Amino acid sequence: MQRRQGVDIAGSILVSAAMMLGIYAIVTASDQGWASDHTVGFGAAAVFLLMVFFWLEARLENPILPVRILRLRSLIGASAARTMLATGMFTTFFLGALYLQHVKGYSAIGTGLAFLPSTLTVGVLSSGISARLMRAFGPRALLIPGLLTITTALFLLSTANEQAAYFPGLFGAYLLFGIGAGMSFMPLMTIMMAEVPAADAGIASGVANVTMQVGAAFGLAALGTISTDRSRVLIAQGQSAASALTSGYQLGFAIAAACVAVGLLIVVVVLRSPAEARNRQRTMEPEASTQQREAA
């Protein structure tokens, strides 16, 4: 056991090593093969270290990830949905940039300008419009159509081929993506923190951000690898480089759309409204206080 005021160094090392090994396994799977001893071995090592991490966290007095946090359905559910959203978001800009430059022949500046409908729309909605809509209709009522709009945008991108014009197809997809993202970020964070006790707000915020970043890293690594594999196979079959790259990017966008759709399903099935979550929190606070006094 470590001291109560100590730093959970062992937990930090374990979770960092697990994430590094997992991402390395995914990134190198394109060269080594998904079923190769290399990929399976590093993947299994990552899972093992992650299991050891959770085992350790349940036994330390001052863990980096208190187990009680994992019992908050709104936090864990919203973190999972946010991870799916981040996968779609990172894929949109990463694969989108590759598609615009390698298939459509855009310059770096042209690619940045092509994304303006998304970034400008997010900025406009974040200026207070989303907050007013959330107060009027509730976070969950705003989040569901937001995720549905992002899923639609990614589906449209998955249909873009070599001949796709920027107007109206690509412009419309990026515009829809910006609208959906602007409608989703704030409500998702609001629902995520609604059930969290004030004493655990900092830890919960860290969990939310870490799971989003790590999940997005895994998702982007996986989708990038799958997209590359698809293009490589098609080139070996005799297709042109542009056609093969387009098919690979289309597959990546399609899977990203499915990921955001899974996030939407999590919101519909798992997440409560903030009011319901706060009521549940009030009923649990006496029990949590008792547990903390016993631990002290």
* Structural domain containing residue 206: 71-295
State the DSSP code for 168: I
- Do 112 and 41 fall within a single domain? no
* Residues 61 and 77 occupy one common structural domain: no
Q: Do residue 195 and residue 231 come from a single domain? A: yes
Nearest alpha carbon to residue 220 among 83, 119, 44: 83
pLDDT of the residue at 234 = 96
CATH number of the domain residue 250 falls in: 1.20.1250.20
Of 32, 48, 65, which marks where a domain is finished? 65
Q: How many domains does the chain have?
A: 2
Which residues in the chain show pLDDT less than 50? 1-4, 288, 292, 295-296
> Domain ends where: 48, 65, 82?
65
B/e letters for 90-119, b = 16+ CB within 10 Å, e = fewer, are: bbbbbbbbbbbeebbebeeeebeebbebbe
pLDDT tens digits along 27-52? 888 788 888 999 999 999 999 999 99
- Do 199 and 86 fall into the same domain? yes
- Given a contact cutoff of 8 angstroms between Cβ atoms, the answer to whether 268 and 78 are in contact is no
* Domain shared by 48 and 124, yes or no: no
Using a 10 angstrom Cβ sphere, with 0-12 exposed, 13-18 middle and 19 or more buried, the burial of residue 257 is buried
pLDDT for 200: 84
